[in-house]
Structure 1
Amino acid sequence: MVNPPCRPSAVDHDARMIHTDDIDGVRVVRMDHGENRFGPDFVPALLGALEDAAATGGPLVLTGTGKFFCNGLDLAAFEGAERDVVRGVFDGVHRVLAALLRHPGLTVAAINGHAFGGGAIMAGACDLRVMRADRGFLCFPEVDLQMTMSPQFDAVIRDGYPPAALRRAVLTGARLGGPEALEAGLVDAVAEGEDAVVPAAVELARPHVGQHGPTVAGLRVRLVERSLAALDASGD
């Protein structure tokens, strides 16, 4: 599939971490910070890009670069960090998830590579998911890390993924490639090769360019009430 022509966004985000484009009326937010782990610098940059996209409204595609969609929390950055720094990162991740759940337009995760832990949770906050068929895994590794899911993350994945498939994925910690994730119902489509993932996601999003953003957001908010209640409460 040939990439549709794209126009760089006028919004200037941190070019080291986030690239934002517009493809036929669909806002594409591309994370480009190595493994795209949630850390003190990356989270504010991503949140800013999502907030700017919400100000414009319309369909949104969220994707990564190279081997990684998002590899979860940046645990290395937490070593020796002040408690307030760690709390700030978690609060920021909660705001990222809430921004996706409140976005005024359809959201599609274009999973170009590994989506582990927090990355799989963030993909679950999107309305639809397209995953690369030939490389990358979707995985909830908490069981092998001897970690439990926070109430906020638990609420988001419960609202975002089919219950039976989610239970198997969380309790086994299985690494699911694109075809396996599609068969399990954790993603909505697969695309052959890295270059095809974003175009496939845009194709899903494009028919919804004309939808009224506040209506889309209002309908979704009713469907994900428990997620938003948990995320909003975390900032109290």
Structure 2
Amino acid sequence: MTVLEIIQHDAIHELRLSRPPVNALNPELVSTLRKALLAAAENGARGIVLSGNPGMFSAGLDVPTLLQLDRAAMAAFWKEFIGLCEALARSPIPVVAAITGHSPAGGAVLTLFCDYRIMARGTFRIGLNEVQVGLVVPEIIQAAMRRLIGAHRAERLMVAGAMIESEEAHRIGLVDELIDTELVVGRAIGWLQDLLKHPPEAMSGTRRIARADLHAEFDGINDTGDDEFAKRWFSEEAQRVLGELVAKLKAKHS
């Protein structure tokens, strides 16, 4: 069963997360999405829309699955996830996040590295709530958050593990536009179509300079960050809080 749909809208390729019920990010989805991003331009794409399901963009990391991994496997997964973020950040063609609903934790992380973010209007929430589940937000992700909304506001939201509704996310610049849920993908395609009307070399060159700071964040990454995340994942506090989260989810669906 596929975990990612690739839908072509002429030169714009939509990469639609397709892992029901909530597009939780497991090793297969992360790896598949990364490969699709890296191959898009070679496959003729001039722009990418990253989308989810109506009401749910992505619920973030698949905690029940990841809790079953040993330390080495978890470190490998995290390296792949950061590689996915890097593929978004360094994409040679523009990427729009079509945030079709809720987008907590890992779901929100993916949007930070896109060029533009269009979110469904309403009571949908987005944010880096890692602290609430016993995890530390890594520096590379904090840097991307600061880039969008400024250092102080990013600090306050991340330290509190806050999830904010779409209107507030738009007000502070965490997302760029709001639109009705059923129109999010179409608007993302339209935004890219307008962008691609510009002379391509001028647009691409300016975009490359504008995103150089984001690229630089990845230039200094080494395996230490992967090891630190895995170490934190297996800490007593994180394992306890994550275990309690999984128990609540099981009870909710039993």
Q: What is the distance in 2 between the residues matched to 1:226 and 1:189?
A: 27
Structure 1 regions of 5+ residues with no counterpart?
A: 1-14
**Superposition map of 1:127-206 within 5 A:** 127-192=115-180, 194-206=181-193
- Aligned partner of 1:227 in structure 2 is 217
Cα contact 1:20–1:30 (8 A) shared by 2 = yes
Cα contact 2:96–2:115 (8 A) shared by 1 = yes
- Aligned partner of 2:106 in structure 1 is 118
Q: Equivalent of 2:90, from 102, 108, 122?
A: 102
**TM-score, length-normalised on structure 2?**
0.77
Pick 1 or 2: higher relative contact order, CA cutoff 8 A, min separation 6. Answer: 1
What is the deviation of 1:46?
0.9
Q: What is the distance in 2 between the residues matched to 1:149 and 1:235?
A: 12
Q: What is the distance in 2 between the residues matched to 1:148 and 1:130?
A: 27
Cα contact 1:126–1:160 (8 A) shared by 2 = no
Instruction: Find the structure with the greater CA-based Rg.
Output: 2
Cα contact 1:59–1:208 (8 A) shared by 2 = no
Identity of paired residues, percent? Answer: 24
**TM-score, length-normalised on structure 1?**
0.83
Structure 1 runs of 4+ aligned residues shifted over 6 Å read: none
Cα gap change, 1:230 to 1:142, in 2 (>3 Å): farther
Structure 1, 97-106 or 136-145: larger mean CA deviation: 136-145
What is the deviation of 1:153?
2.1
Structure 2 regions of 5+ residues with no counterpart?
A: 228-254
What is the deviation of 1:171?
2.8
What is the deviation of 1:47?
1.0
Q: Which has the higher helix share?
A: 2
Matched residues, number: 221
- Matched letter for residue 146 of structure 1: G
Q: What is the distance in 1 between the residues matched to 2:136 and 2:185?
A: 32
